[in-house]
C-alpha cells in the first residue's frame, strides 16, 4: 500500500508543480543555509532526542487520542476519536513547530527571532519558546488583528516579546507576513524567521510539516493500540495547512485512510466571501511559493472572510495543492454558521470547547458520518482550544461578558 510519491518536495522545493522559492535574491542565501542546516540535523540523534524531550517535558506530548462517546452516539455510525492538540502547552498544535524551529535557530547561532501571526496563536507559541531560550523576539501582526485579538497581544507581551502592528493592505495576516519577510531581508545575518504554517518558500513547508508530523506519528501508534486498525478517515481544518499536514503526512502511504481537509467557507463558497483557496482558487504565487490562491482575474490577491481568524488566509501550503490535484486528499468547506453550530454542539456534548478553526473540522462530520458504518473509526484533529474565541462567539450570540 505504499504510495511512492511521499518523498516530496524535490530538490528544488517543489511538490509536483507547487512550492518553490519565489523570493528576492537577498533571501536565497538564508534559505539555502536553513535547508543545509535542517538536512544535516534532521536525522541527527542528539537533535531528535532534544526535540522529543522538549515536546514531552514542556509541551506535554504525546497528546491523547480520545474516544468521543456522545458525539459518536449522536451520529450513530462510526466511532469518533479526537486527537487532543488542544491539550498542548499554549493550547494548540502550533507549539510543535516552534519547539523544532527554535532548536534550528539555536544550532545556527541566531540571536534574534521574528514571526508573523494572525489570530496571535503562532505569536504566542513563538514568544513562548523564545522566552524559554532567552532570545530576543519580534512578532508582526496586522493592526486589524491587534484590535481583534487583544488577549493574545497581551500574552505575547507578557512573554517578553515585542509586537509590531502592521497597517499596510488589509492589516491582517498576509500583511504581517510581508512585513516579517521585509525584516528578514534587512536583518538576515543574526535573525531566524519562524514561519507558522506549511507555507512560504522552500524549505519552510517541508520543515513545518516534519515538526508537526509528530501528530500523525502518534496517531499511527495510538490507532493500533485503541482500535487495532488504521483509521478510516482523518479530518482536519485547513488555514495554511500545518495541523492537517502534520496529521496527514505519515498516512499518505496508507491508502485505506481518507484524508479530509476542511477550509473556511465563510458566508458560503458561492458568495465568494470565504477563505477557501483549494475549493475556489487558482494556482498563483504568494509569500514565496506557488500554490492555490484566492485571486481575481488580474492575479491580485482577493480579500478573505471567515469567522475564524486562524483560517482567514487567501493562500494554502503547496503540499496541500499537490495532495488535492493527486486526489490523495479531499478538500471541502463549511460555512461560518455551520462552524458556529459545531462549536456549541461539541462544547455541550463533549465538555471540550474547541477553537473556531477546529469547529470547522467538527462541522463536516454532519456530512461525513453518513458515509461510514458502525465499524469504522474517524479521527478529528482538535487543533486547538477555544478559550481565545469566547469573546467572538459571545458577540455573535449577542451576549455581553
Ligand atoms: C493557526 C491555527 C489553525 C490554522 O493553521 P493551520 O496551519 O492550517 O493548522 C488551526 N487551528 C488552530 C487552533 C490554530 O491556532
Interval 85-118: pLDDT, tens: 999 999 999 999 999 999 999 999 999 999 999 9
The radius of gyration computed from the CA coordinates of the chain, to the nearest angstrom, equals: 20
Q: In the structure grid, which three cell numbers stand for residue 158, read together?
A: 507578557
- Which residues, listed in sequence order, are joined to residue 15 by a DSSP beta bridge? 18
Closest C-alpha to ligand 1, atom 2? 310
Q: Is 85 noted as a catalytic residue in this protein?
A: no
The answer to whether 382 touches 88, Cβ cutoff 8 Å, is no
Active site residue 11: no
pLDDT score of 68: 98
Q: Please give the pLDDT value at position 3.
A: 42
Which residues of the chain have a pLDDT value below 70? 1-5
In whole angstroms, how far apart are CA 27 and each of 55, 124, 186, 193? 30, 25, 10, 11
Q: Looking at the CA of residue 239, tell me the nearest atom of ligand 1.
A: 8
pLDDT tens digits, 14-72: 999 999 999 999 999 999 999 999 999 999 999 999 999 999 999 999 999 999 999 99
What pLDDT, on a 0 to 100 scale, did the predictor assign at position 7?
87
Q: How far is the CA of 25 from the centre of ligand 1 (A)?
A: 30
| 225 is a catalytic site residue | no
- Which atom of ligand 1 has the smallest separation from the CA of 94? 15
Q: Are 84 and 65 in contact (CB under 8 A)?
A: yes
pLDDT in the model for residue 1 = 33
Q: Is the CB of 335 under 6 A from ligand 1?
A: no
264 CA → ligand 1 middle, Å: 11
* Phi, psi angle pair for 149, to nearest 5°: -120, 50
CB 310 near ligand 1, within 6 Å: yes
Q: Is 358 in the pocket of ligand 1 (CB under 6 A)?
A: yes
Query: Which positions ≥6 away from 186 have C-beta within 8 Å?
Result: none
Span from the CA of 364 to the centroid of ligand 1 (angstroms):
16
Tell me, using a 6 A CB cutoff, whether residue 241 lines ligand 1. yes
Phi and psi based region of residue 23 (left: phi greater than 0; alpha: psi -120 to 50; beta: remaining):
beta
Q: Is 75 helix (H, G, I), strand (E, B) or coil?
A: helix
Q: Which of 79, 242, 321, 383 is catalytic?
A: 383
Q: Which helix (H) or strand (E) holds 377?
A: strand 377-382
Ligand 1 centroid from CA 373, angstroms: 29
Q: For position 376, what pLDDT does the model report?
A: 98
- Ligand 1 centroid from CA 92, angstroms: 8
Amino acid at each position: 500500500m505504499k504510495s511512492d510519491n511521499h518523498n516530496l518536495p524535490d530538490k528544488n522545493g517543489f511538490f509536483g508543480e507547487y512550492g518553490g522559492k519565489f523570493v528576492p535574491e537577498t533571501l536565497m542565501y538564508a534559505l539555502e543555509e536553513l535547508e543545509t542546516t535542517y538536512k544535516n540535523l534532521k536525522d541527527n540523534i542528539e537533535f531528535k532526542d532534544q526535540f522529543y524531550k522538549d515536546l514531552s517535558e514542556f509541551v506535554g506530548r504525546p497528546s491523547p487520542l480520545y474516544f468521543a462517546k456522545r458525539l459518536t452516539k449522536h451520529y450513530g455510525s462510526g466511532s469518533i476519536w479526537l486527537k487532543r492538540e488542544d491539550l498542548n502547552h499554549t493550547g494548540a498544535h502550533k507549539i510543535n513547530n516552534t519547539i523544532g524551529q527554535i532548536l534550528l535557530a539555536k544550532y545556527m547561532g541566531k540571536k534574534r527571532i521574528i514571526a508573523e501571526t494572525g489570530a496571535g496563536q503562532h505569536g504566542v507559541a513563538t514568544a513562548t519558546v523564545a522566552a524559554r531560550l532567552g532570545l530576543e523576539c519580534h512578532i508582526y501582526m496586522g493592526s486589524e488583528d491587534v484590535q481583534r485579538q487583544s488577549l493574545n497581544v497581551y500574552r505575547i507581551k507578557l512573554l517578553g516579546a515585542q509586537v509590531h502592528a502592521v497597517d499596510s493592505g488589509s492589516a491582517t495576516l498576509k500583511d504581517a507576513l510581508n512585513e516579517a519577510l521585509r525584516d528578514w531581508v534587512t536583518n538576515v545575518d543574526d535573525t531566524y524567521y519562524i514561519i507558522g504554517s506549511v507555507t512560504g518558500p522552500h524549505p519552510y513547508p517541508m520543515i513545518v510539516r516534519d515538526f508537526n508530523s509528530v501528530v500523525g506519528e502518534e496517531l499511527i501508534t495510538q490507532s493500533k493500540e485503541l482500535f487495532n486498525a488504521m483509521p478510516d478517515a482523518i479530518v482536519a481544518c485547513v488555514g495554511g495547512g500545518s495541523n492537517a499536514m502534520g496529521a496527514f503526512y505519515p498516512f499518505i502511504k496508507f491508502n485505506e485512510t481518507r484524508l479530509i481537509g476542511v477550509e473556511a467557507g465563510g458566508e458560503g463558497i458561492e458568495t465568494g466571501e470565504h477563505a477557501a483557496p483549494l475549493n475556489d482558487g487558482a494556482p498563483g504565487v504568494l509569500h514565496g511559493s506557488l500554490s492555490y490562491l484566492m485571486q481575481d482575474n488580474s492575479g491580485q490577491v482577493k480579500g478573505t472572510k471567515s469567522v475564524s481568524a486562524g483560517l482567514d488566509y487567501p493562500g494554502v501550503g503547496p503540499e496541500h495543492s499537490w495532495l488535492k490535484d493527486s486526489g490523495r486528499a479531499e478538500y471541502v468547506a463549511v460555512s461560518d454558521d455551520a462552524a458556529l453550530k459545531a462549536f456549541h454542539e461539541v462544547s455541550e456534548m463533549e465538555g471540550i470547547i474547541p477553537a473556531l478553526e477546529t469547529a470547522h473540522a467538527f462541522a463536516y462530520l454532519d456530512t461525513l458520518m453518513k458515509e461510514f458504518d458502525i465499524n469504522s473509526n474517524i479521527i478529528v484533529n482538535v487543533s486547538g482550544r477555544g478559550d481565545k474565541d469566547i469573546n467572538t462567539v459571545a458577540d455573535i450570540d449577542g451576549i455581553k461578558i
